Chain A
Amino acid sequence: MPLSIFLAAALAACAQKLPVDEGRLVIALPGAPVSVDPRVATDAYGEQLLQMTHASLVRRDAAGNPVPDLAERWESPDPLTHVFHLRTGVRFHDGRPLTSADARYTFEWILDPANRSPHRALYRHVAEIGTPDPRTVVFRLSEPFAPFLSTMVRGIVPAGSPARGYTPPAGAGPYRIDDVSPDGEAVLSAFDGYYAGPPAIRAVTVKFVPDSNVRFLELKAGSVNFALNGVDPDLLPAAGASGRLAVEEAPGGNVTYLGFNLRDRVLSDARVRRAIAAAIDRESIVRALWKGRADLAESILPPGSWAADAGIPPARFDPARARRLLDEAGYPDPDGDGPLPRLRLTYKTSQNELRRRVAAAIQEQLRQIGITLEIQSLEWGTFFSDVKRGNFQIYSLTWVGIADPDIFHHAFHSASAPPDGANRGGYSEPEVDRLTEAARRETSREKRREMYLRVQRILARDLPVFPLWVGRNVLVRDRRLTGFAITPDENYAPVAAMRILPAAAASAGAGAPR
């Protein structure tokens, strides 16, 4: 590396002060937001940035329950009407006070076809938005839609805000966006007029760092001091061993699963699907590849969700049973211990390194029961297109950001085949159709929960998909940063509650690494 050495010698520079010493929180995100306007942003990075800057009518707690944000309370006098009462004294970043007109404007803007918001379909049940007084917003729906409250987690912007590409509209969140450059970084500063009081950390930079090794190196160097799920499991021990960094983990909410194509002659037999499930040793994969940082899942609903069924018996690793099931299904072993397989199947996955290694582990485990698995690791656009078109036998994906159990209608109702939903495997079960339809219209939380518990039992029996695990949320941060509560949905709003400890207090051992 002659050039490198030459350059280093030519450009000697002194060690610089770290951002944390200057009171600055530097967050690394794995990608840049496509949009910084809550009315159009659909990408995860855009939404995570906006969670710090734009307040919504309601927020979600760790179990997915709506809790007050800009609306201090709400009621539903009938299944078609939702009334929100706004807080008093809320101001936007530009100083304007929040009124019901702003909330109405935000959602009417989304619903206006001319604005082409990708969120429009989410609010298709909204027939009318009324503002009887400046503190009250009334949504009237065209039909009962139980998940409605969970769709109200959408940043409110001041009435009349134009949509201007990469220039964010004002919000009412704890931080304001001072500057954002595409593919570069976003610079945020504390908003003193925030209704819940100004945040303690005054300056935040959000850096967009696509390379996972580099994110880790930035943390090591101190130029980044906060990364949520930004470090590969392999590198976490090294991060924990560093004196300056702390590693924290908490339950996650994104369920990874195997999807089966039920239109396939072989996989349409539930015994084959059960055999595959029994042949996969999830625990050893989690231990070896995830370094233990994932919890086994028995449903595609995050385990912390209010509608999750904790009573589903876990799928047990039992290769003998898997072989028996294959025998019963008519796929006997042709040559005992010989090389000939009972079955050949293909498994599609993305090019993500961890997913490829998981695929290889599953391939080996299925080989033990006589199934030869051909792995196809495809570029994302091609892979997802194949999955949606039903061009697969088995695929693996992760459900991200499930906010409401209505996902069961989206993923398993017989009318939800792509492009109308995500029932990609062609699952059809009248009982599931009936229950997911009824639960949509049911306003009683308790009754809805009962219905979803039954749906989950049926899915555990039929196995149209095999839930694998939920990755734990892992935060790597500077030891001096405290106060961030990790939520299953990787929400960045708790950044507002963070503080920077004085250097001496941190060295006394705040935040033990795990």
Chain B
Amino acid sequence: MRRYVLRRVLHAVPVAFGVVTVVFLLIHMLPGDPVEIMLGESAVPAQREELRRELHLDRPVLAQYGEFLSGLPRGDLGTSFRSREPVLREIGRRFPATLLLAATSVGVAVLVAVPLGVLAAMRKGRAADYLSGVASMVSLSIPNFCLGPLLVLLFSVQLSLFPVGGYGTARHLVLPAATLGTGMAALLTRMVRASLLEEIRKEYVTAAFARGLTGRAAVLRHALRNALVPVVAVLGLSFGAVLAGSVITETIFSWPGIGRLLVQAIDARDYPLVQGCVLVVALCTVAVNLATDLLCARLDPRIRYE
């Protein structure tokens, strides 16, 4: 297994390299000049040239790319054009907030989706199944930029239960995590239901029933574990979607995370900051996918570390 993990970690290197390269090329191809955005229109040409030189923007794009790459092994992601602070420090300040939000919403989504999905599967065709199906469809159909303000309107403005936005306490976390996690919970509920229904039809479950196990014991002890393998795989894959969704959710709830930082960096054409943010998000996605693969192998011994 150790060799497998090592190999997967090494696989992350070309992935990160590819992502960084594509982002580097795309952001340099975008119209818009960081120097002009930073200095505004009142600056004199000499000042622009000075700043361009200082930010190394006067060098050929390939040289800038090489410079960026050479810093990576040392953990040097460069300096933000906008704030003149190291990119790593800028990201370090925002990343914990995004991680907290993403982990909470995924965690809560799992806590909601597994019992609901099991319930829907065990009560297939009955009221509970229909209700969970309708609730899932509704939740999946509402985009975050719509759900967020609706939750605020109900729980903050009408009921005064939670703050509208901001960061700091557990109560600040509730609405953004609900916004980000709702769609995912709905998706997972449907996945758990479908996967579990498929397992229940298999012979080993029939055998369990034949041995005299109650329906609950057969499903929870035997079928659920196997049913969770595809669910965990989807969970890992959708983590990237959660990070992407955090861009909108963080803006709605004034959440000081990396999603908002990335949008601001793109607006300001802050090349090093954009590259740093994307790199960190890419590495996170790779890490989560590795973790879910390991978890799948743990859940299903037939999956080998190959």
CB atoms of B174 and A182 under 8 A apart: no
The smallest C-beta distance from A245 to any residue of chain B, in angstroms, reads 12
Q: Known A183-B94, A221-B164; judge A2-B139 contact (CB<8 A).
A: yes
Give bound CA distance, A220 to B171, whole Å. Answer: 19
Q: Which residues of B contact A165 (CB under 8 A)?
A: 83-85
The smallest C-beta distance from B29 to any residue of chain A, in angstroms, reads 11
CB atoms of A11 and B171 under 8 A apart: yes
Q: Which residues of A contact B157 (CB under 8 A)?
A: 217, 220-221
Interface range, B side: 35 or more
Give bound CA distance, A259 to B217, whole Å. Answer: 74
B206 at the interface (CB under 8 A from A): no
CB atoms of A116 and B51 under 8 A apart: yes
Q: Known A121-B43, A121-B44; judge A3-B109 contact (CB<8 A).
A: yes
Residue of A nearest to B161 (CB): A13
Q: Known A15-B160, A221-B164, A419-B48; judge A2-B42 contact (CB<8 A).
A: no
The smallest C-beta distance from B182 to any residue of chain A, in angstroms, reads 5
Contact residues of A between 1 and 39, Cβ < 8 Å to B: 1-4, 6-8, 11-13, 15-16, 34-35
The smallest C-beta distance from A294 to any residue of chain B, in angstroms, reads 24
> How would residues 32 to 53 of chain B score, 1 for a CB under 8 Å from any chain A CB and 0 otherwise?
1100111111111101101100
Residue of A nearest to B152 (CB): A217
B31 at the interface (CB under 8 A from A): yes
B149 at the interface (CB under 8 A from A): yes
B218 at the interface (CB under 8 A from A): no
Stretch of B7-15, B229-237, B249-257, B287-295 contacting A (4+ beta carbons < 8 Å)? B249-257
A1, A42, A213, A217: the one within 8 Å of B40 (CB): A42
B300 at the interface (CB under 8 A from A): no
B223 at the interface (CB under 8 A from A): no
> How would residues 413 to 427 of chain A score, 1 for a CB under 8 Å from any chain B CB and 0 otherwise?
000001111100000
CB atoms of A2 and B93 under 8 A apart: no
- The number of inter-chain residue pairs (CB within 8 angstroms) is 170
CB atoms of A118 and B38 under 8 A apart: yes
Most buried by A among B42, B48, B151, B166: B42
CB atoms of A210 and B43 under 8 A apart: no
Give bound CA distance, A211 to B254, whole Å. Answer: 8
Residue of A nearest to B108 (CB): A3
CB atoms of A183 and B256 under 8 A apart: yes
CB atoms of A422 and B161 under 8 A apart: no
Residue of A nearest to B183 (CB): A3
Most buried by A among B156, B254, B260: B254
Give bound CA distance, A183 to B116, whole Å. Answer: 37
B67 at the interface (CB under 8 A from A): no
CB atoms of B160 and A221 under 8 A apart: yes
CB atoms of A2 and B166 under 8 A apart: no
Give bound CA distance, A35 to B44, whole Å. Answer: 21
CB atoms of B256 and A1 under 8 A apart: no
B36, B147, B174, B266: the one within 8 Å of A7 (CB): B174
B43, B54, B189, B269: the one within 8 Å of A381 (CB): B269
CB atoms of A4 and B182 under 8 A apart: yes
Q: Which residues of A contact B32 (CB under 8 A)?
A: 381-382, 384-385
B185 at the interface (CB under 8 A from A): yes
CB atoms of A118 and B160 under 8 A apart: no
Q: Which residues of A contact B83 (CB under 8 A)?
A: 34-35, 165-166
A42, A208, A382, A420: the one within 8 Å of B254 (CB): A208
The 26 sampled A-B contact pairs (Cβ below 8 Å) are A1-B139, A1-B142, A2-B132, A2-B139, A2-B189, A3-B139, A4-B155, A7-B178, A8-B159, A34-B268, A116-B50, A118-B39, A121-B47, A182-B93, A183-B260, A183-B261, A209-B165, A213-B252, A214-B165, A223-B164, A380-B267, A384-B32, A384-B36, A410-B41, A420-B44, A421-B41
Extra contacts besides A214-B254, A381-B32, A388-B36 (20): CB < 8 Å: A2-B112, A2-B116, A2-B135, A2-B186, A2-B189, A4-B178, A4-B182, A13-B161, A13-B171, A116-B84, A165-B84, A183-B257, A184-B167, A207-B166, A211-B251, A214-B148, A214-B252, A217-B152, A221-B152, A224-B164
**Partner-B contacts on A (CB < 8 A):** 1-4, 6-8, 11-13, 15-16, 34-35, 42, 113, 116, 118, 120-122, 124, 165-166, 181-185, 207-211, 213-214, 217-218, 220-221, 223-224, 380-382, 384-386, 388, 410, 418-422
**Partner-A contacts on B (CB < 8 A):** 30-33, 36-45, 47-48, 50-51, 54, 82-85, 90, 93-94, 108-109, 112, 116, 132, 135-136, 138-139, 142, 147-149, 151-153, 155-157, 159-167, 171, 174, 177-178, 181-182, 185-186, 189, 251-254, 256-257, 260-261, 266-269
